[in-house]
Every structure is written in C-alpha cells, then in structure tokens.
Structure 1
Amino acid sequence: MGKLTTHVLDTAHGRPGANIKIELFALNGDVRRAIKTTVTNDDGRCNAPLLEGAEFETGEYELVFHAGDYFATLGANVPEPRFVDRVVLRFGIADTASHYHVPLLVSPWSYSTYRGS
C-alpha cells in the first residue's frame, strides 16, 4: 500500500520548518472534506504519514500549510498582510500503491513544491 508524506524546509533560515500547522482535505469538485490536522516535528516532517492504508485513496486532495504563522512566531519582519501566508497545494493521487511525497520549500516571500520520493 502507498502513503502520503510531506516535509517543510525553511529556505529563509536554512533549516527544517518545525511546528508548522498542516491541514489535509479531500476534494470532490468544490466540496472540501477535512481529513487531518497535524504539526511538523523538529525535522519539518510529520510523525506519521498523512494518509496510508485504507485511507489512502485515489482522488484530489489539498494540503494547507500555515507558513505565515510559522514565520510570525520566529519574529520575521514581514508586512501585513503577509505576502506568503497559507500555502495551498492541490494535487491528485492516481496510484494507491505508490508513495506520494509532497515537500514544501518556503520563505516569507516564496515557495515551491514537487513530487518527491
């Protein structure tokens, strides 16, 4: 069985993004169903996969990373409203036998992602 994982890297400070709130939603058209809310550990990862086993189904999903709150707790000097606040990533899972890893590289001014391994 496959699984869904993530990893947040703070590119502004060159370290893992620790204690970042992450929300996971399943999408059905315009309808969002909350699945899980978690927080990254000191390594910028979650302590367990976001989805695995019977919960890991094909479909469209959305991850919401509360990056702006993270940078605010670090005392980053950013204007209000924040340029990067909540990072929303929509993606699809097509193969339940695969590992889907969705890393986020983030700063107060930019972010990027890719399908990792």
Structure 2
Amino acid sequence: MSVTRTPKTVAQHDSGTVFASPPALRSPAKVASFVEQVLVELRHEAVAARYVTDLDQTGAKTIWCRVEHTTLDVDAAYVQIRNDPRLGVGIEPCSQATVRERLCQCLDHDRVGRVDVRPLAGVEFESG
C-alpha cells in the first residue's frame, strides 16, 4: 500500500500517535465520543485509525483511512485494510458509517486490543 505524503501533514504529526484509545473501562458514551473524534481526524488529515488485536503489536492489525490519501483505486470514501500475519493483507472499500460501526465494535468487545490514530505514512503492513 502506498500513501500520499504532504510535508505539512508529516510535520504536523511527527510524534507518531496523534491520540490513543480511551482507558480499558469504557462506557458506551465514551466509546461513541472517541470514535467521533477519530472520524473528525480521518476527514481532515492524512491519518489512519489503527486497531491492533494485542498490545505487543505482533498480531493482526486493521486500519481505516480516507481513500483520497492513498494510491488505491477504490470507489469509496474510506478503505479498511486488514493485515493478518497468517492471511496477508486484505483491502475492503467502506463508508464512514461502516468505519464508525467497526471502531465501536472493536472498542466495545475487545478489552486488550487498542485503537490509535497515527500518520497514514507511518502505518506499515508486510505483504505476503
């Protein structure tokens, strides 16, 4: 996967993580609020919401980002990219509503996984 990097965006998000998921004790209201913050970032910056299934970050990863910040030829506003060491990389076009729903599901159901927002240019997936 390749992405479009602009000097302004890269400089603005040098630190790696823009913000990370809320604490483990999550209320539905806090989850919804966090997800809305993520969606605002996704709309306005070349960032990705990244979900990692385990805290040592060696497991499967999923990111959601706006298609316009990638070189992917996809007829959708957003794309979901899954990278599973066992299955490889899978790309699925999706809508903003789908991103909202899936992020909420991740935060509601998985207490050890995490979601963060980071520069899209800094998100790496191994292919193969």
Larger proportion of strand = 1
Greater helix percent: which structure? 2
Structure-1-length-normalised TM-score: 0.31
What is the TM-score with the length of structure 2 in the denominator? 0.30
